[in-house]
């Protein structure tokens, strides 16, 4: 199936979900998660006019977007980092990404402040919340979030919204509603939640950014 028809199907489902909840589809940003996809599928998405993409590993994203020359060829592309960020990758991440969705600790905020100043860049930031409190998963625990938000404020780093990846084996809708509640409490208006299997549910819970990989590109390698 072509990217175009896959995208059309995604748009249709988003419109349906929005209609039920009186939301405007224009308020939903579709992040096409291109990680582990063959380059020709990414190019097809670009040729089709899509410009917002997500990647989860800095080094792999550099190869897909820089080494390939795609970033230069399509300068209006917007790249979101949706995977955990190690401090030693901050320099490359700031150079490449327009949005970093996985801020989750004070030391990372320190590194981001330093590097964004150095490179004179102003990416958007989301805090990743580990809503399921899974030990192996990145993200700040919900109880630590207020402190991290205070820290970001103190460091003058603007946090645009929250992001979550619900536990694999739990109903994701519960986590989406939970994230929305936390965001409201802190006056944050943007929510990155929902993937191929559950983005409609995420939209009914208030997602503003959905991260869709396999439904747009097909199965990953």
Ligand X SMILES: *Cc1c(COP(=O)(O)O)cnc(C)c1O
User: Taking CB under 6 A as the rule, does residue 218 contact ligand X?
Assistant: no
3-state SS of 166-208 is CCCCCCHHHHHHHHHHHHHHCCCCEEECCCCCCHHHHHHCCCC
Task: Check: CB of residue 106 under 8 Å from CB of residue 127.
Answer: no
Q: How far apart are CA 93 and CA 209, in angstroms?
A: 20
Q: What residues between 142 and 201 interact with ligand X by CB under 6 A?
A: 165, 195-197
> Which residues contact residue 178 at a Cβ distance below 8 angstroms, ignoring those fewer than 6 apart?
131, 142
Task: Please count the CA atoms within 13 angstroms of the CA of 123 that sit on its side-chain side.
Answer: 29
Residue 180 or 209: the one with the smaller Cβ distance to ligand X is: 209
Helix (H, G, I), strand (E, B) or coil at 131: coil
Binding residues for ligand X, total number by CB under 6 A: 14
Task: Check: CB of residue 186 under 8 Å from CB of residue 148.
Answer: no
User: Taking CB under 6 A as the rule, does residue 48 contact ligand X?
Assistant: no
Binding string, residues 5-34; x marks residues near ligand X by CB under 6 A: ----------------------------x-
User: Taking CB under 6 A as the rule, does residue 129 contact ligand X?
Assistant: no
Residue nearest to ligand X (CB): 213
Length of the chain: 221
User: Taking CB under 6 A as the rule, does residue 82 contact ligand X?
Assistant: yes
The residue within the footprint of ligand X, chosen from 123, 166, 206, 213 (CB under 6 A), is: 213
User: Taking CB under 6 A as the rule, does residue 80 contact ligand X?
Assistant: no
Residue 141 or 196: the one with the smaller Cβ distance to ligand X is: 196
The residue within the footprint of ligand X, chosen from 6, 23, 35, 160 (CB under 6 A), is: 35
Binding site for ligand X (CB under 6 A): 33, 35, 56, 82-83, 165, 195-197, 211-215
């Amino acid at each position: 199936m072509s990217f175009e028809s896959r995208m059309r199907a995604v748009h249709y489902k988003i419109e349906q979900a929005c209609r039920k909840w009186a939301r405007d589809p224009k308020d939903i940003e579709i992040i096409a998660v291109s990680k582990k996809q063959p380059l020709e599928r990414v190019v097809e998405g670009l040729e089709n006019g899509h410009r917002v993409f997500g990647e989860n590993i800095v080094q792999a994203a550099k190869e897909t977007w820089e080494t390939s020359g795609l970033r230069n060829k399509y300068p209006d592309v917007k790249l979101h980092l949706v995977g955990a960020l190690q401090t030693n990758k901050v320099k490359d991440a700031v150079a490449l990404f327009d949005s970093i969705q996985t801020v989750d600790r004070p030391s990372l905020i320190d590194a981001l402040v330093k590097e964004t100043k150095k490179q004179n860049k102003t990416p958007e930031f989301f805090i990743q919340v580990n809503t399921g409190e899974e030990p192996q998963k990145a993200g700040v625990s919900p109880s630590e979030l207020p402190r991290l938000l205070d820290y970001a404020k103190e460091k003058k780093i603007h946090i645009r919204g929250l992001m979550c990846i619900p536990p694999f084996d739990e109903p994701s809708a519960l986590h989406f509603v939970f994230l929305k509640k936390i965001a409201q409490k802190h006056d944050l208006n943007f929510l990155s939640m929902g993937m191929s299997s559950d983005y409609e549910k995420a939209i009914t819970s208030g997602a503003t950014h959905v991260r869709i990989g396999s439904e747009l590109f097909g199965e990953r390698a």
